[in-house]
Amino acid sequence: MEMLNIVIILVIAVIVTLYKGINIVPQGEEWVVERLGKFTRTLTPGLNIIIPYLESIRERVSTRDLILDIPEQEVITKDNAVIHTNAVTFARVTNPRDAIYGIEDFRVAIQQLVMTTLRSILGEMSLDDALSNREHIKAKLKDSIIDDVADWGVTVKSVEIQDINPSASMQASMERQAAAERERRAIETTAEGNKNAAILEADGKLEAAKREAQAQVALANASAEAIRMISENIKDQELPAMFLLGDRYISSLEQISKSENSKFVIYPADLQGAIKGMLGNVFKK
């Protein structure tokens, strides 16, 4: 009976020993092994055997990409604007030994490092630059932390800025500023349009006046030439002038008769005498 008990105890001990000594590491993980409290080696995916009772598994470390959420925080920019920002970091453990022994908790350390670095970067930028330069912020943030996290056996693959939003009071101020800016541009556009319209109208009036003056000069020259030619043909100075004045007088009466406000057009009974009278007054002058 005692022999049976001893055999049973030995079988149980062998089973426990094999259970402790044989380890199957799944893909995507690496296990840190300690021997009597000291780091010995790292177990890679697959079947691994350790020395039972002398060696133990210190930590099971995931070698897959880690998603570390960076909590939202308030940041004051260079121009004293308050903004809220948060981010997300994608990292991977490349050296499990450094990740376990290099720092107490590498996840918390990366989160705190990203938060402080992001706050420092945004504090050196103005509000407009912070809102419009996300790619620059991401690149600068990654470059600033990549060496530090490398000492912890971690590689930062990417840092994405999720939100950069002004505070509620700052958003209200920005909306008022944008509305004022739009109003100013509308006023400037209207004023510019009115100015251009006035310039065009003045140019039109000036051009019309020039053409009218040219027309008057051309008409006067034509009249003078007509009088000269008639005078040369009939050798009389009174008759050509009377002819032209009469022609002008009749043309004026025709224009008056076409007006909508004109009801009657009165021709002098002695048209020739009237013209001679005007001609005499002209010659007297």
Residues belonging to the chain: 285
Q: Give the range of the structural domain holding residue 18, as residue numbers without chain letter.
A: 2-62
Euclidean distance between CA atoms 206 and 212, whole angstroms: 10
Asked if residue 78 and residue 157 are part of one domain, the reply reads yes
When pLDDT is cut at 50, 70 and 90, the band that residue 276 belongs to is low
Euclidean distance between CA atoms 30 and 59, whole angstroms: 8
Q: Looking at beta carbons, which pairs linking 274-279 to residues 24 or more positions away fall under 8 Å?
A: 274/249, 275/242, 275/245, 275/246, 275/249, 276/238, 276/242, 278/245, 279/238, 279/241, 279/242, 279/245
Euclidean distance between CA atoms 48 and 10, whole angstroms: 23
Asked if residue 76 and residue 40 are part of one domain, the reply reads no
Asked if residue 211 and residue 192 are part of one domain, the reply reads yes
- Of the chain, the percentage scoring pLDDT greater than 90 comes to 24
When pLDDT is cut at 50, 70 and 90, the band that residue 274 belongs to is low
More confident residue, 127 or 285: 127
Q: Which of 138, 166, 194 is the last residue of a domain?
A: 166
Euclidean distance between CA atoms 266 and 149, whole angstroms: 109
* CATH classification at residue 130: 3.30.479.30
For range 108-135, the mean pLDDT = 90
Question: Do residues 141 and 162 lie in contact, with contact meaning Cβ atoms separated by under 8 Å?
Answer: no
Asked if residue 72 and residue 152 are part of one domain, the reply reads yes
Asked if residue 209 and residue 127 are part of one domain, the reply reads no
Asked if residue 188 and residue 135 are part of one domain, the reply reads no
Q: Which of 148, 166, 184 is the last residue of a domain?
A: 166
Asked if residue 281 and residue 194 are part of one domain, the reply reads no
Euclidean distance between CA atoms 91 and 111, whole angstroms: 11
Asked if residue 45 and residue 87 are part of one domain, the reply reads no
In total, how many domains does the chain have?
A: 4
When pLDDT is cut at 50, 70 and 90, the band that residue 17 belongs to is confident
More confident residue, 63 or 182: 63
Asked if residue 79 and residue 45 are part of one domain, the reply reads no
Asked if residue 99 and residue 10 are part of one domain, the reply reads no
- pLDDT for 217 equals 75
- pLDDT for 183 equals 81
- pLDDT for 187 equals 86
Q: Which of 117, 135, 166 is the last residue of a domain?
A: 166
For range 182-193, the mean pLDDT = 84
When pLDDT is cut at 50, 70 and 90, the band that residue 230 belongs to is low
Measuring CA to CA, how many Å separate 118 from each of 3, 40, 149, 153, 284?
A: 70, 37, 15, 21, 100
Q: What is the pLDDT of residues 83-116, one digit of tens each?
A: 899 999 999 999 999 999 988 899 999 999 999 9
Asked if residue 177 and residue 117 are part of one domain, the reply reads no
pLDDT beyond 60 at 50: yes
pLDDT beyond 50 at 285: no
pTM, rounded to two decimals: 0.58
Asked if residue 55 and residue 119 are part of one domain, the reply reads no
- pLDDT for 283 equals 42
Question: Do residues 77 and 123 lie in contact, with contact meaning Cβ atoms separated by under 8 Å?
Answer: yes
The tokens of 163 are what?
Answer: 């939100």
pLDDT beyond 60 at 138: yes
pLDDT beyond 50 at 198: yes
